[in-house]
Amino acid sequence: MASIFLPFFSPYLLLLLPLVVAQSSAGGNIRVGSSIEATRDAKPWVSPSSDFAMGFQQLENDNDLFQLAVWHYKIPRRTIVWYASGTKQAPRRSKVELTADRGLVLTDPKGQLIWRSEFAIGDVSFARMNDTGNFVVYGSSSEPLWESFENPTDTLLPNQVIQRGGKLSSRQKENNFSKGRFQFQLREDGNALLNTINIESEFFYFAYYTSGTDDQANKTNSGYQVRLDEDGSFYVLRGNNQRHSLIGEDDGVHSADYYHRATLNFDGVLTLSSYPKNPISSNVNWSVRTTIPDNICITGFNRFGSGTCGYNSICTLKPDKRPQCKCPRGYSLSDPNDEFGNCRADFMQGCEADPQSSHEGLYDLDELQNTDWPTFDQEVISPCSVDACKAYCLQDCLCTVAIFNNGKDCVKKTLPLPYGRQDRQVNTIAFVKVRKPEFAHGNPPIISTVYEKRNRNSLTVLISVLLGSSVFVNFVLLGLLCMASSFLYHKRVSRNHSNKNGIQSSLRCFSYKELEDATNGFGTELGRGSFGIVYKGVIKSDSQDPIEVAVKKLDRVVEDTDKEFRTEVSVIAQTHHRNLVKLLGYCDEGRYRMLVYEYMRNGTLASFLFGDLKPSWNQRTQIAVGIARGLCYLHEDCSPQIIHCDIKPQNILLNDYHEARISDFGLSKLLGIDQSFTNTAIRGTKGYVAPEWFKTVPVTVKVDVYSFGVLLLEIICCRRNVAMDVGEEERVILTDWACDCFSEGVVDALVENDAEALMEKTKLERFVMVALWCIQEDISLRPTMKKVLLMLEEMIMVAPPPLPCPSYMLA
């Protein structure tokens, strides 16, 4: 009977055949030409067991954007375990298709490529969403051409392996799938570690967690795989097949009855989580078994710039061991939508914002127990009481926060503060300087109003006394009043004259005769530079002890107008940094132009470096970092930007504690460099001049970076850049020799008999690499001084510089 109806139904069976084939392919192989469109109801490619699926996930914060992803298909709240990384999100109606020549291809509605699976060579036969969570594209011989397990994003699944050189990368935010700042990787030395990176440059910051699975004694036993097993075991597998568990304490959840995953979250916390495969209710959530590190607010970021929270913020740990970020009182988020972002002050502060009078009346101190900002110390005062610590910060216009620790030390800090942490493990008190409400917007008129009111009240009292006194007393008082008025008038005229000249009233204006007397007729010469001669002097005053000074007679600014000179002196006067020599005053009289600086007792760095006794390695590295900080301030924080143009050992002075102070930092300004670049004639000193001075290209702050690189090599090696007496011809020019030593892997030859430097070979290599980056001929390859400072202080990783090294110019 059935055979009778078969011819009648056969056309309909043929029509239904594609539907049968499509149904049978669900959970099986995915054919070339198959595709999914980014819509809310689009059906994904599902694994045979339906444990995992690949397709489009709609973003929670934008209904018109989708993410191509793999997720746990059976879990009600879909948990993404892989996504097409490094791409923009897919707009609605985008399409992912399995093609014969390129594998998976994701395009937008206009057909523009968004992402594709990369593989070297091969023709695609089919693809498959496997029950392990691994999506694989297979070739004609059923060999894998591309698989998601080999291209991990932020999650590691059971049976997925991280080999040496492999890594997980965090997202930027929970719903932002762009690459974030955190990495979990297995290094070539066998260590599994967590570290931050600079997103723009991908510079590698140092680790805030390390497994310690490198074996220096027997490298074959170092870690070579990171594995997550089906029972939830999470470990580094060593070369001798021993397991190094990454789980602190055994939580008892070692069972294949659970889904397991290790995820590097956007906040830098690596979490190991489990979810029952057969939950007893629909309200079950992922259970966090382990977090690495245990306390991200405390662990690791004390040397590496901003941590899981942004600059100027405070990190606290929530009960689930995930970080929470908040701004101190008086600060708010730069981006209100980014709770992990930077905080900015809601008030004006700093030396330029505050009046030149006492700063104490402008600010309150907000006391935060168990709080610290562990990096970027401005100054350490020890021993110190808590009251003195608070007073020191209030009196210092550069101080933003004072940290009182161990009951005796006071550490002053200035903005920006890389990150703070608040925890019971922190045994310090933080005093955050917050401007009082009445001065929140920097209103000096309030101060002057109070002052004038006080003066009016005093005048009222004085008149009352006069009217009620005898004639003789009245004459005496009137005489005193006239004398006081005359004094105040002349003082006001003097101040107005100074302001009229455009120079800060905080600077003292000396006459030529005063400086001639102070220097004993310019009798004691301290040194000669490209801009003039420096003399030692002593400034005497009735109100304070004599002050030793260095007086620089300028001989190359006579052609400048008076207005330009005063403007530039005012610019120099506004610089405030511990690694710059402080300007105390000036002389602007007739044809004489002089600058008065604080006197540095230990002289120049040249005398210190190239004398008979070699300074210690620690002293030299500290000096190098100090110079970098000073240059960074001139380039980044001054307005207008200051290009020094003559960085060399003779222009670096040392104070009583051998701390570096850059001198002549304003003379380039006095000679007219007041833009971000210049095409002016060559300036500087032979051996330190950047190559662009000889080319028809704009000169930028990178000329100082080049000079610093040469100077850094001199500091490392304790020798001059050009030394004709070294004996061997290849050593005559230091920059060339340093390049040769680095390329041959023998940087220790640069410090041959310096046992202290040889003991810190890693630091030595880092400083040499930084110097070689600085002296690159290609301006674009030279780092900024900010980046130089970060590299010297181990805040970012230093990549090997390009070779061959730049040629040396003897100009």
Residues making up the annotated binding site for ATP are: 553
In angstroms, rounded to a whole number, what is the distance separating the alpha carbons of residues 628 and 783? 12
What percent of the chain is helix, strand and coil (3-state, nearest 5)? Answer: 25, 30, 45
Q: What pLDDT was estimated at residue 353?
A: 63
Which of 306 and 733 is assigned the larger pLDDT? 733
Asked if residue 355 lies in contact with residue 446, where contact means CB atoms within 8 angstroms, the answer is no
pLDDT digits (tens, 9 = 90+) for 422-448: 998 899 999 999 988 777 554 443 333
Question: Residue range 56-75: average pLDDT?
Answer: 90
In angstroms, rounded to a whole number, what is the distance separating the alpha carbons of residues 806 and 705? 14
646 annotated active-site: yes
With a CB cutoff of 8 Å and minimum separation 6, the contacts of 595 are 551, 552, 554, 569, 572, 583, 585, 586, 587, 666
Question: Residue range 50-74: average pLDDT?
Answer: 91
Q: What pLDDT was estimated at residue 120?
A: 65
For residue 747, the one-letter residue type is V
CATH architecture of 605-792: Orthogonal Bundle (1.10)
Q: What pLDDT was estimated at residue 707?
A: 94
Q: What pLDDT was estimated at residue 697?
A: 64
Asked whether the predicted pLDDT for residue 768 surpasses 60, the reply is yes
Which of 557 and 663 is assigned the larger pLDDT? 663
If residue 207 lies in a helix (H) or strand (E), which one and from where to where? strand 204-210
Asked whether the predicted pLDDT for residue 710 surpasses 90, the reply is yes
Phi, psi of 12 (to 5 degrees): -70, -35
Residues in the chain: 811
Read off the pLDDT band of 712 (50, 70, 90): very high
Q: What pLDDT was estimated at residue 250?
A: 56
Q: What pLDDT was estimated at residue 57?
A: 92
Residue with tokens 């906040």: 267
CB burial of 605-617 (b: ≥16 within 10 Å; e: otherwise) equals bbebbeeeebbeb
Question: Residue range 88-105: average pLDDT?
Answer: 92
If residue 587 lies in a helix (H) or strand (E), which one and from where to where? strand 583-589
Residues making up the annotated binding site are: 553
Q: What pLDDT was estimated at residue 778?
A: 85
In angstroms, rounded to a whole number, what is the distance separating the alpha carbons of residues 347 and 498? 29
Which of 61 and 428 is assigned the larger pLDDT? 428
Q: What pLDDT was estimated at residue 706?
A: 93
Which of 450 and 255 is assigned the larger pLDDT? 255
Asked if residue 699 lies in contact with residue 691, where contact means CB atoms within 8 angstroms, the answer is no
pLDDT digits (tens, 9 = 90+) for 667-680: 665 654 433 333 33
Q: Among 29-38, 243-252, 354-363, which stretch is predicted with the lowest mean pLDDT?
A: 354-363
Asked whether the predicted pLDDT for residue 477 surpasses 70, the reply is no
In angstroms, rounded to a whole number, what is the distance separating the alpha carbons of residues 72 and 91? 23
- DSSP classification of residue 678: B
Q: Which two tokens stand for residue 235?
A: 């470990």
Question: Residue range 127-147: average pLDDT?
Answer: 94
Nearest to 182, CA basis, from 325, 344, 343, 309 = 309
Question: Residue range 60-74: average pLDDT?
Answer: 89
Q: Among 572-586, 748-762, 779-793, which stretch is predicted with the lowest mean pLDDT?
A: 572-586
Helix/strand/coil for 95: strand
For residue 570, the one-letter residue type is S
Q: Please give the mean pLDDT across all residues of the chain.
A: 80
Q: What pLDDT was estimated at residue 530?
A: 60
In angstroms, rounded to a whole number, what is the distance separating the alpha carbons of residues 660 and 662? 7
Residue with tokens 């070692």: 254
Q: What pLDDT was estimated at residue 491?
A: 45
Of 646, 664, 704, 754, the active-site residue reads: 646
Asked whether the predicted pLDDT for residue 252 surpasses 60, the reply is no
Q: What pLDDT was estimated at residue 563?
A: 62
Residue with tokens 């001059």: 720
Q: What pLDDT was estimated at residue 654?
A: 93
Q: What pLDDT was estimated at residue 448?
A: 34
Domain extent listing, the chain: 25-150, 157-294, 302-435, 508-598, 605-792
For residue 552, the one-letter residue type is K
Q: What pLDDT was estimated at residue 447?
A: 33
Q: Which two tokens stand for residue 32?
A: 């070339």
Q: What pLDDT was estimated at residue 490?
A: 45
Q: What pLDDT was estimated at residue 557?
A: 58
In angstroms, rounded to a whole number, what is the distance separating the alpha carbons of residues 313 and 326? 6
**Does this chain's domain 25-150 share its CATH topology with 157-294?**
yes
For residue 437, the one-letter residue type is P
Q: What pLDDT was estimated at residue 190?
A: 92
Asked if residue 759 lies in contact with residue 750, where contact means CB atoms within 8 angstroms, the answer is no
In angstroms, rounded to a whole number, what is the distance separating the alpha carbons of residues 153 and 13? 45
Beta strands 583-589 and 508-510 are parallel
Nearest to 598, CA basis, from 557, 535, 673, 547 = 547
Phi, psi of 728 (to 5 degrees): -95, 130
Q: What pLDDT was estimated at residue 622?
A: 92
Phi, psi of 243 (to 5 degrees): -100, 135
For residue 477, the one-letter residue type is L
Q: What pLDDT was estimated at residue 253?
A: 64
- Considering only the top CATH level, what class is 157-294? mainly beta
Q: What pLDDT was estimated at residue 64?
A: 87
Asked whether the predicted pLDDT for residue 201 surpasses 90, the reply is no
- Residue 358: CB atoms within 10 Å: 10
Question: Residue range 111-119: average pLDDT?
Answer: 89
User: Hey, what CATH topology would domain 508-598 get?
Assistant: Phosphorylase Kinase; domain 1 (3.30.200)
What's the per-residue H, E or C state across 591-656? CEEEEEEECCCCCEHHHHHCCCCCCCHHHHHHHHHHHHHHHHHHHHHCCCCCCCCCCCHHHEEECC
Q: Among 115-129, 130-144, 554-568, 755-769, which stretch is predicted with the lowest mean pLDDT?
A: 554-568
Beta strands 124-129 and 135-139 are antiparallel
Percent of the chain predicted with pLDDT > 90 = 41
Asked whether the predicted pLDDT for residue 498 surpasses 50, the reply is no
In angstroms, rounded to a whole number, what is the distance separating the alpha carbons of residues 366 and 346? 14
Q: Among 344-358, 508-522, 557-571, 703-717, which stretch is predicted with the lowest mean pLDDT?
A: 557-571
Q: What pLDDT was estimated at residue 506?
A: 64
**CATH node for 25-150:** 2.90.10.10
